[in-house]
């Protein structure tokens, strides 16, 4: 039997994950009180059970003393129950945005600020997160990408990528991304905006890419950047980092940054030790 305990930050995507696992053939139970968790394990993990795949959702909404989850799950491990823990999270800005979009209150701060509830919940869940076999940061994941990651781990049984990298292009005129871990400024390169036939195009277009990468400085920068990122990745993984946002910026975020972000993604994507995605924040906005 494959038994997965799904938990994590409220708004991190736990409910979506349970629906996807259900579609993948898992028997799913959500919001079970902590006091019933051990009994559920006893009932479901009987020999010769017809149920071969189970997902159990644990949530701070079910029990305010969620700190007990660490103790209960530890006891189940000692009793040699076999299960995995999937922890869903997202950065603070993303969680706050999701709450405001749905007009929900935070379960730990029903009459207070969402920000306070998010920070309190992160502290409460810290120990369970440290026990997790898988940590998925949904901040920049599309629904399709989340499903692909779940299928890879729980359906195709492939190796888990503990680090998810987002390579992001942006324009400095629109502000530096608040969730960026590494920021690189490529405004030292000539700007295609001032070439009439390139102005209305973006770094997605071959003509712009050829122009930008035609400068030896662009190629040297890309070689040094790729070497730096390849050096950093195994060290980030070793330290337990699960999300890395690499932001590459130019003035408007449409030409140089899009080109170089795409180039970095192409050079880094064929590797099994991490997941990677490409995101152009400002490519469809005004230029320059």
The stretch 253-265 carries a mean pLDDT of 97
- Go through the domains of the chain in sequence order and give each one's CATH number: 2-155 (3.40.50.300), 164-280 (no CATH)
The pLDDT, as a whole number, for residue 272 is 65
| For residue 259, pLDDT beyond 90 | yes
What integer pLDDT is reported at residue 61 of this predicted model?
65
Residue 177: strand, helix, or coil: coil
The rounded radius of gyration (Å) of the Cα atoms in the chain is: 22
As a whole number of angstroms, the distance between CA 221 and CA 190 comes to 14
- First-to-last C-alpha distance (Å) of the chain: 57
As beta bridge partners, residue 283 has none
Length of the chain in terms of residues written: 288
Q: Give the C-alpha separation, 233 to 136, whole Å.
A: 17
Asked if residue 33 has pLDDT above 90, the reply is: no
- pLDDT-derived band at 247, boundaries 50, 70, 90: very high
- Mean pLDDT is highest, among 118-132, 147-161, 170-184, for 170-184
Strands, E assignment, the chain? 2-8, 27-29, 53-57, 84-89, 134-137, 164-171, 182-185, 243-250, 275-280
Structure tokens at 225: 């950047």
Reported confidence tier of residue 254, pLDDT bands at 50, 70, 90: very high
Q: Would you state the pLDDT for residue 111? A: 75
Q: What is the mean pLDDT of the chain?
A: 89
Q: What is the pTM of this model?
A: 0.70
What is the β-pairing status of strands 134-137 and 84-89?
A: parallel
**Where does the pLDDT of residue 139 fall: very low under 50, low under 70, confident under 90, or very high at 90 and above?**
confident
Q: Which two tokens stand for residue 166?
A: 């987002």
Backbone phi, psi, residue 50, to 5°: -70, -20
Whether the pLDDT of residue 103 is over 90: the answer is no
List, for residues 70-93, the tens digit of each pLDDT value: 888 889 989 889 999 999 999 888
Burial of residue 255 (number of CB atoms within 10 Å: 0-12, 13-18, 19+): buried
User: Is 287's pLDDT higher than 70?
Assistant: no
pLDDT for residue 185? 98
Confidence grade of residue 159 (pLDDT, cut at 50, 70, 90): low
d(CA 164, CA 281): 18
- Average pLDDT over every residue of 200-210: 96
When pLDDT is averaged across residues 241-259 and rounded to a whole number, the result is 95
pLDDT at 117: 87
Q: Would the pLDDT of 282 be above 70?
A: yes
Each residue of 132-157: b (16+ CB within 10 Å) or e? bebbbbbbbbeeeebbebbeebbeee
**Nearest 5 degrees, angle CA 54-CA 56-CA 62?**
165
């Amino acid at each position: 039997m494959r038994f997965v305990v799904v938990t994590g930050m409220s708004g991190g995507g736990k409910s979506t994950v349970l629906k996807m696992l259900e579609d993948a053939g898992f028997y799913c139970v959500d919001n079970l009180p902590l006091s019933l968790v051990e009994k559920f394990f006893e009932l479901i993990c009987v020999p010769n059970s017809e149920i071969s795949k189970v997902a159990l959702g644990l949530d701070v909404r079910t029990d305010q003393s969620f700190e007990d989850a660490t103790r209960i799950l530890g006891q189940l491990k000692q009793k040699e129950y076999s299960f995995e823990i999937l922890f869903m999270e997202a950065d603070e800005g993303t969680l706050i945005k999701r709450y405001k979009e749905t007009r929900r209150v935070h379960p730990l701060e029903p009459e207070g600020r969402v920000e306070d509830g998010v920070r309190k919940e992160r502290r409460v869940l810290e120990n369970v997160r440290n026990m997790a076999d898988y940590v998925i940061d949904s901040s920049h994941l599309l629904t399709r990408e989340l499903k692909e990651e779940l299928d890879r781990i729980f359906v195709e049984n492939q190796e888990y990528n503990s680090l998810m990298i987002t390579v992001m292009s942006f324009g400095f005129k629109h502000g530096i991304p608040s969730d960026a871990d590494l920021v690189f400024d490529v405004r030292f390169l000539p700007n295609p905006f001032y070439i009439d036939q390139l102005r209305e195009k973006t770094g997605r277009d071959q003509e712009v890419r050829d122009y930008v990468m035609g400068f030896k400085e662009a190629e040297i920068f890309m070689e040094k950047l790729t070497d730096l990122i390849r050096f950093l990745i195994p060290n980030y993984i070793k330290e337990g980092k699960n999300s890395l946002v690499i932001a590459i910026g130019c003035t408007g975020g449409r030409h140089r940054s899009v080109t170089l972000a795409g180039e970095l993604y192409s050079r880094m994507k064929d590797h099994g030790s991490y997941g990677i995605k490409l995101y152009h924040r400002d490519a469809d906005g005004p230029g320059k």
